[in-house]
Amino acid sequence: MVDISRRVVVLDLDDTLYLERDFALSGFAAVGRHVEERHGQPGYGAECMRLFEEGHRGTVFDAALGALGLSAIDVGPLVALYRGHAPKIALAGDAARLIDRLDGHATAIITDGPGQTQGNKVAALGLYGRIGKVVLTGILPEGCAKPHAMAYAMVEQWSGRPAAEHVYIGDNAAKDFVTPRARGWLTVQILREGHIHPCIAPTPDHAAHHVVDSLDDLVLEPSVRA
């Protein structure tokens, strides 16, 4: 159990509050419907998901087009549709329980990725209005995604609390924890089954202070408001 009481609770989004592969499945389904309706070719979304599960990331759309003999189709609109669609995703069970427990606490989200995409995820998860501060690094100046300090400084300014009274909860040891640790925050890594991002810290400074496999392992009393 990790006690995060009396702290500003700052959360990552992807693979922390829900499974990012669920967003991928939702997006590939939307793109697959588009390809079938516009080009008469079924199975594109399923092919994208198959490649994704095999470990393909940046090449999924092109590879799926090639596999189905559709290389003449412009991939740009497909990527735009994937990023801009209204996703069908849901909070993980332990994340839903944590959000309920966080009612009355000072809370924030810091999440990387295209601003519209991440904002759509926050909306789909019903978190606007439940989280006090949402920082989408995709709408910050170029180069200010994690591990850049800007987002963390924005949360500190919003909360008005000392750095040591913040906790960051995320999954990606490559970028999530090194900056908040350096600023004096407590850090917690969630190792959620089915995660996508790296779990092994490249250096000791990148490692979280605590590792949990469920957000139910977080102790949260009493409530604190920003």
Tens-place pLDDT, residues 72-97: 999 999 999 999 999 999 999 999 99
pLDDT higher than 70, residue 223:
no
pLDDT higher than 80, residue 185:
yes
The answer for residues whose C-beta is within 8 angstroms of residue 45's C-beta and 6 or more apart is: 28, 29, 30, 31, 32, 33, 35
CB 172 within 8 A of CB 151: no
CATH class of the domain defined by 2-18+90-219: alpha beta
Pairing of strands 8-11, 166-170: parallel
**Tokens encoding 115:** 């601003």
Residue range(s) in the chain whose domain bears CATH number 3.40.50.1000:
2-18+90-219
Region of 85 (left: φ > 0; alpha: ψ -120 to 50; beta: rest) is beta
Given this model, what pLDDT does residue 56 score? Answer: 86
pLDDT higher than 50, residue 226:
no
Given this model, what pLDDT does residue 196 score? Answer: 81
pTM: predicted TM-score of the whole model, two decimal places: 0.93
Given this model, what pLDDT does residue 224 score? Answer: 46
Given this model, what pLDDT does residue 225 score? Answer: 46
**Model pLDDT for residues 159-180, shown as the tens digit of each residue:** 999 999 999 999 999 999 999 9
Strand-pairing partners, residue 166, are 8
> Please, which pLDDT band fits residue 222 given cuts at 50, 70 and 90?
low
